[in-house]
Structure 1
Amino acid sequence: MTTTTNKLVYITGASSGIGQALALHYYRAGWRLALVARRANELHAWAREQGMSVDRYAVYGADVRDIAEITAAGRTCIANQGLPEVVIANAGISIGMDSAQFEDLEVMRALYETNNLGLAATFQPFIGAMNARRSGTLVGIASVAGIRGLPGHAGYCSSKAAVISYCESLRGECRPNGVQVVTILPGYIATPLTSKNRYGMPFLMQPQDFAARAFAAIEAGTSYRTIPWQMGVVAKLMRLLPNWLFDKVLAGRPRKRRQGE
């Protein structure tokens, strides 16, 4: 445990998985927390179970797909707790889809609304104030799946590729004002999102280990980091493969489960 600081971190999707692990790591590092999730009651209960001091965290109930709701949560955080040093847009969903199925177009809509529009809406209330202060860090949680498209993952892979490009664009916009933008690409992390995968997950990492490495990357101001690094090597090698070989390698690979499977 380090000495408590006055620094504030704002984390969406904090009720489970990566977001919850990040929240706990930041708390143990002495930070104050602004935690956002749809399941606010569950988040309150979890914080109590962890023995968190009530003067060091606040919970905001919001759905990142609801632009009015999530941007209001950001403004309320600033009014109640102050402008955060770090904002982590972590909330995301992962669902397989089949583009031949009409109903899966709605799955794609949900993926984009959550993983992309929700990320931009999470950042929006803080950008102007951070630029004016000339400091702060905006963190987008992408995925190694955004580096190359995988069969059955069209919606998810393309949404995470968009996160990577969006954060790269935002980084250039914010740099002149002293605001950092960090893109984190998790590999396979043992969370509810990956628990139903029906294929091998190399270099599977526990959430607390991921959180420690992500925290270090964010503190260092690293613009782009794949965690674990081994998955970054794998992803880059896959990117270098010619299309014919890439397609052959993935032929017959089990697809991600569609909604309801």
Structure 2
Amino acid sequence: MMADVFVSFGFGTIGIARRGPVTIIRLQRPERLNAYTPEMGEDLVAAFRAMTDDESVAAVVVTGEGKAFCAGADHGCFTEPPGPSGLRIGEEAFVKGFAAELRDHPKLLIAAFNGAAVGIGVSMSLCFDLRLAATDSRLKLNFAEHGIMPGFGATYVLPHLVGLGQAKKLLLCEPLIGAGEALAIGLVDEVCAPADLIERACALGAAAARLRPGAARKIKRALNRSVEEGFAAALQAEAASDLRKEARA
């Protein structure tokens, strides 16, 4: 397969490529292990919003350039003047209030951990639908070490993924976890050889593209609602869905 051609986007902190119905977003600050900045947040918000109504896109895969996915927030954001966006970390839309929009995004969102994922590199992925990890990747939820409350609804989503005890262990005791253990507790959904990671993520995205138009979005919404509002809400969403009516037609 030909190499993906990434086009720099916005402030240049991410690159975007297409494989048929799958968009690949690559965090591209490899000299800083793709550490997060407000500019990266602004770029991610703009990219995700641009794909919301794009019917040619069925899935979005997010990965990192080089040997890391995202090494957490760039420490320079706390000690140096603001970058080109003019924003301090926490003032940008991605951190300030994008989590609900990200979780409800109509496309299938897949995180592909190609190496280290730290802090916000992990918490942002909790709003995605699937998380894949290369065998050599490591995840670290080190918020407590820095006296920071996790964001992106992590205190809600993480216990639902891994259980309350494991969530407390990760956030309060042993924040570093390898790919195999992350798979065992449900923090990631698959572990792949590094060379196969993007291929597998794109294959899952392409599978979503073969579904009946609108079906993936509606089922995803019902699944999310079932977790957020409980069993009764799931029954209500299933009964009310027009997918049942369409199937009978």
Instruction: State the TM-score, normalizing by the size of structure 2.
Output: 0.30
Compare relative contact order (CA 8 Å, sep 6+) and give the higher one, 1 or 2.
1
Relative to its length, the structure with more strand (as a share) is 2
Instruction: State the TM-score, normalizing by the size of structure 1.
Output: 0.29
